[in-house]
Chain A
Amino acid sequence: MESGLMHHVALWLAAFLTLGIFSFLYRDNTWYKVCEAIFVGISAGYWFVAYFWDNLYTKFWVGVWVTPMADRPDDWYVLYVGAALGILMLLRLVPKVGWISRWPLAFIVGATAGLYLVTYFASNVMLQIEDTVRPIFGAENDAPIYEIIGNIVVAVGTFTGLIYFFFSKEHRGAFGRAAKVGIFFLMITFGASFGYTVMSRMSLLIGRMDFLFSDWLKLIK
């Protein structure tokens, strides 16, 4: 009985919040503001708790304290480095030494810059160039006409698209015309991506409508 009551409370609460967010489409209003305040409080609390249990407790505390020594990986002690960086970051709360929090920040920025430099270069520059270099007529010279045109389009589109991104050369003359063609390709890409996404966004809306009309109001069986 109680669980049935709780279920009803839960459904009405979820419906109240759903309609409150939808009401923003009309205009900003008290209902939306209440939902927004609840959303910020609940979600900030959620992540605060999740970070504590998943990262600080499970990753760090269990890693350096709870797990028996025999079961720990060889490099378990490096978790202390993470804790040290975290403590340095928290020194921000002490005004006199708050500037030390730049050290972990500097480390994160440096490491991210280094990691991205090589991984993006490998996966995007090298791989994309390798994939672009293909025989126009297909590997066995038997590509159908639509594929031949497509291969030409890929080569020309990648070439002119890259020309558009040149910063140190003015987009004038033949170079400017190539850059213009590059923009056309970019626009087609954006359009294709836009069109591809539209339907999936509609399905999200249908999902919420299904909750309102089927789960809550039970108008649709």
Chain B
Amino acid sequence: MRRDIPLLITGIAGVVFIVQYFIPHFPFNRFSNWFSDWFSIVAACAIWLGALNLFKLSLEKIHARREGWGYAVITIVCFLLMTVVGFSEGRDYSKVGTGFDWLYNYVYSPLSSTMFAILAFFVASASYRAFRARNFEATLLLIAAFLVMLGRVPIGDLLSGFMPPGMRLSQLATWIMQFPNTAGQRAILIGISLGIVSSSLRLILGIERSYLGGD
């Protein structure tokens, strides 16, 4: 019962959302939009579960004085600060000049963009790792990466200036992106889509049911 009804719901929803793609008639033509609306409402309700979980784990840590409990205090204070400010601003919470906007610009945004920026260092260390790989596949990856990277910066054409026009690094990089890269991407995309067909059918037919938990 606890698994049969959800399995039935998954199956029916799956079939209906496949069929809607081929039926332009109301209500089928609206299903896709409705789903998007419904999902955003469900996600907005579900975030209460997530927030409560964050609170619960942090409070447990503080209560038990476990290692790093002080950071849990900071997390809770920051969470409360952002929510109190956000709710007190009303529906225009994110307008320029609000406290919420200030916190976004001077706390949230620098943290987010710096975390994104450290990726540059990780790209360098990953390149080094690929460089150390000693097999043919890794070498191919590295050569393609090197050519495309150089082809995208002015120094690439400077280095290959002795080559006839049309064979310089920038053109070679464009050629690699346009042809071998396209071939690989196509094989991957076709494979992914067939994988999705198969895995969606397993879900719709109820063969794959691990996500629904036990009885």
- Whether the complex brings A and B within 8 Å at their CB atoms is answered yes
In the assembled complex, A56 has its CB within 8 A of some CB on chain B = yes
Q: How far is the CA of A44 from the CA of B58 in the complex (A)?
A: 13
- A92 near B10 with CB under 8 A, answer no
Q: Given A117-B200, A150-B178, 15 more contacts at CB 8 Å? A: A33-B71, A39-B115, A75-B30, A78-B30, A85-B42, A106-B10, A107-B9, A110-B10, A121-B196, A149-B179, A158-B190, A160-B187, A186-B188, A194-B127, A207-B113
- A117 near B45 with CB under 8 A, answer no
Residues in B whose Cβ lies below 8 Å from that of A121: 193, 196-197
Residues in A whose Cβ lies below 8 Å from that of B187: 157-158, 160-162, 164-165, 182, 185-186
| Contact flag A89-B49 (CB < 8 Å), given A25-B121, A114-B14 | yes
| Contact flag A87-B49 (CB < 8 Å), given A46-B108, A196-B148 | no
Within 8 A of A (CB), among B197-215: 197, 199-201, 203-204, 211-213
- Give me the interface of A with B, judged by CB distance under 8 Å: 10-11, 13-15, 17-18, 21-22, 24-25, 33-60, 75, 78-79, 81-83, 85-87, 89-90, 92-93, 99, 102-111, 113-125, 128-129, 131-132, 146, 149-151, 153-158, 160-162, 164-165, 182-199, 201-202, 204-205, 207-208, 211
- A154 near B179 with CB under 8 A, answer yes
Q: How far is the CA of A187 from the CA of B5 in the complex (A)?
A: 45
Q: How far is the CA of A54 from the CA of B123 in the complex (A)?
A: 36
Residues in B whose Cβ lies below 8 Å from that of A107: 9-10, 13
Smallest CB–CB gap between B174 and chain A, Å?
A: 10
In the assembled complex, B106 has its CB within 8 A of some CB on chain A = yes
Smallest CB–CB gap between B80 and chain A, Å?
A: 7
